Structure 1
């Protein structure tokens, strides 16, 4: 009978993600990851195999943490669901240095096929959730007549990604406040006149 796990997979992967954001994926070692989560390197190897597989599992976890707040956003206003979901998808305590290291993780997502497949899956889920909320906003009369919901979803998604970098460059206020401001600015052009 296998021994019970003292540290859940979610806790391990959250710790590895936090470490990757602090030091970058290139500097992350199995020994450092083990110290971060309170396990031995041998236990991490037993669970995940290699550093590559551990980072891939952490990347999958990161995709869930990124997409789920948008998919599950609850607010009476569908447009507010878009904003609140995307603001909820960012770590409010993230530093500019951690964003730089998350960009290093993004390099893996863009170059390594296994990582890209996971991130693309998440990006498609994110866009689909945005389209659902925006379609609901259109039906509720929150958007101008004739608004192209698919095009607006792409623009909102692009704004989200750009806002992360913009905040890391300008460092004005909190990341959450900066994200909210950028999203509201993009959506304001498409809001129905009474909104």
Structure 2
């Protein structure tokens, strides 16, 4: 089968992400991507420059997808604590099984090393925690930083699930976040008699 002459960047970057998630960031080379997408390695070098630029472009594409999914869920779900739980459970579906989650941690390492990718993570944190805060806006007793607290519980739940992945990740996350929301109600200060 002849090589395609053109392929949109989106499709090339999707192929690059599959390589990264399948074998870690070091598995992404121009040769491996050429084999996966059908373009020549020379064409890919012309398009992306260096291996580091290619990796960054693929990971920025992943951030674009996460931003889109976060916005979609934040818009579609009710602005309630239950909606906040559903938003984070919905985002948890992106992690898949334990092997995919473990490979995702290697990708996170790349995000933390690169200042451009780190900035995307910080921007996503602001959007996500703002969306979560909105879900508690009608609850006067909610802490002012409830969105950050809930996102932190979510990330912790994912990590603890990773050590003992006996149940579905979404079920584990949902149970953990439901307990967090219930604990918020228990922590209200007692009124003086």
The total of aligned residue pairs comes to 181
Instruction: Report if the CA contact (8 A) 2:22-2:103 is conserved.
Output: yes
Q: Secondary structure at the match of 2:131?
A: helix
With normalisation by structure 2, the TM-score equals 0.79
- Equivalent residue, structure 1, for 2:171: 177
Instruction: Report if the CA contact (8 A) 1:167-1:178 is conserved.
Output: yes
- In the alignment, is residue 190 of structure 1 matched against residue 184 of structure 2? yes
State the Cα distance separating 1:72 from its structure 2 match. 2.5
- With over 3 angstroms needed to count, the CA separation of the structure-2 counterparts of 1:7 and 1:185, relative to structure 1, is farther
Instruction: Report if the CA contact (8 A) 1:134-1:149 is conserved.
Output: no
Q: Secondary structure at the match of 2:92?
A: coil
Structure 1: runs of 5+ lacking an equivalent = none
Instruction: Report if the CA contact (8 A) 1:71-1:85 is conserved.
Output: no
State the Cα distance separating 1:157 from its structure 2 match. 1.0
User: Which of the numbers 119, 122, 128 marks the counterpart of 1:120?
Assistant: 122
Q: Secondary structure at the match of 2:136?
A: helix
- With over 3 angstroms needed to count, the CA separation of the structure-2 counterparts of 1:133 and 1:76, relative to structure 1, is closer
With normalisation by structure 1, the TM-score equals 0.79
Q: Secondary structure at the match of 1:172?
A: coil
- Equivalent residue, structure 1, for 2:162: 168
Q: Secondary structure at the match of 1:19?
A: helix
Aligned-residue CA RMSD (Å): 2.5
Distance 1:38 1:185 in 2: 48
State the Cα distance separating 1:108 from its structure 2 match. 1.8
- Equivalent residue, structure 1, for 2:153: 159
- With over 3 angstroms needed to count, the CA separation of the structure-2 counterparts of 1:157 and 1:11, relative to structure 1, is same
Instruction: Report if the CA contact (8 A) 2:19-2:27 is conserved.
Output: no
Distance 2:182 2:6 in 1: 48
- Equivalent residue, structure 2, for 1:148: 143
Structure 2: runs of 5+ lacking an equivalent = 187-193
The 5 Å alignment of 1:23-172 reads 23-73=23-73, 74-91=76-93, 94-135=96-137, 139=138, 143=139, 145-150=140-145, 152-172=146-166
Q: Deviations over 1:61-81 (max 9, x none)?
A: 222333333333213452233
Higher mean C-alpha deviation, range 117-126 or range 62-71: 62-71
